[in-house]
Amino acid sequence: MSMRVLVAPQQFKGTLTARQAAEAIARGVKAGLPDAELDLAPIADGGIGTVDALVLSQAGGEDRVAAVTGPLGKALLAHWGYLPGARDKPALGVVEMAAASGLTLVPAPERSVLDAHTVGTGELMRAALDAGCRRLLVGAGDSGTCDGGTGAAMALGARFLDAKGQPLPPGPRHLERLDRIDLTGLDPRLKGCALTVLADVVNPLLGETGTARVYGPQKGADTDEIDFLDETLLHFSLVVQRQLGLALHPEQGAGAAGGLAYGLAVLCGAKISRGFDVVSEALGLFQRVGEAEVVLTGEGQIDLQTAYAKGPWSLGRLARMQKKKVVAFAGVVSGGSGSATKDVFDDVIQVTPTGELPSAAEAERLLFEAARRWALSPRRRITVETEQK
């Protein structure tokens, strides 16, 4: 009797897209279990791959391109998704902030989180509005920024003024001088737009589990810069509270994408939702998990951050609710991840023997081999030497 396997990884950041990862795992499973029935469902949680997942989920979905400003001011082309409307629903635009303001857009030696901004994300949103979209999803994940979404709001017409009434340049470096926010020029189309931010994590804006302290280091921030970013975002939220009467910073997910979720919520009226939930519904994952005997997922690195409701963790929780076995593949498994993932994964398989991320071609081969070995294992599981053990 054949085994039905749901293959639903997220992107392996910097090496494989979610679709490439799913195809590599599927080939590996087929090599070990030729009779296996495979259901491929590449997933996303608001980060890279969200546009692909949602565009492919609906007939007539289109991948479009817009010229935008990158996180450090360099012009670039960024993709976004257009989904045509129906009789009772207007057209839907799907924007990945990672496509315009993502960490991978700037080489590591050039990264400066104090100067990086989300202006390009706002420009992508404007492109969707120009195309007639009156529903807008903004994926808030895989960011290279920590500006509280102020750059995106600038691109949409907001102004951030110092005590002398002069507009501030984009980037968190200047936000400590913020005195007043001018929303009179905000794009009026936003009032008639159903705007939702797809948060890839549940972190709040501020504090020990806030966006600066948890994600600042991976964006290149040192200890002093992390303190500065957290204090600057606090100052920003206090100005918002004083001027607009809004205090959303404790909300789960407000810290997604360097606080982009918070900024779009308080300045543009956005609703914050979990990105995985929206993608899961579009892909029909609940039913597809129920039809599978085992779920294979994964991402580039499984660590403590995985348990902040990242895509594979959320899928694992969904599968566990239906009493399904869940196996996660990862390029790297970081120390301490076991305690964060043991409740959702039956097994975590490190693909790379050295724990270092390989090239895309090598990553595809390693993922194929790991899936093949899992499929050939008598108990359909494999244990490798990782820090988790």
The CA distance from 39 to 69, in Å, is 38
Q: Which CATH class is domain 4-42+293-376?
A: alpha beta
pLDDT of residue 338: 61
For CATH 3.40.50.10350, the residue range(s) in the chain are 4-42+293-376
Determine how many CB atoms are found less than 10 A away from the CB of residue 152: 33
Half-sphere exposure (CA, 13 Å, Cβ side) for 367?
38
Strand runs (DSSP E) across the chain, as ranges? 4-7, 37-40, 62-69, 75-83, 92-96, 135-140, 159-161, 180-182, 194-199, 271-274, 294-302, 325-333, 347-350
For CATH 3.90.1510.10, the residue range(s) in the chain are 50-276
pLDDT of residue 386: 38
Under 8 Å between Cβ of 252 and 204: yes
| pTM score | 0.86
pLDDT of residue 355: 63
Under 8 Å between Cβ of 123 and 157: no
pLDDT of residue 198: 96
Mean pLDDT by 10 residues, the chain (389 residues): 90 89 96 95 92 89 97 97 89 96 92 97 98 97 96 98 98 97 98 95 93 95 97 96 82 92 96 93 95 95 79 93 94 69 86 75 92 83 39
pLDDT tens for each residue of 208-222: 999 999 999 999 999
Under 8 Å between Cβ of 8 and 276: no
pLDDT of residue 337: 56
CATH of 50-276, one of 1.10.3720.10, 2.40.30.10, 3.90.1510.10, 3.30.710.10: 3.90.1510.10
pLDDT of residue 360: 76
The CA distance from 204 to 217, in Å, is 17
pLDDT of residue 352: 86
Phi and psi, residue 333, nearest 5°: -115, 115
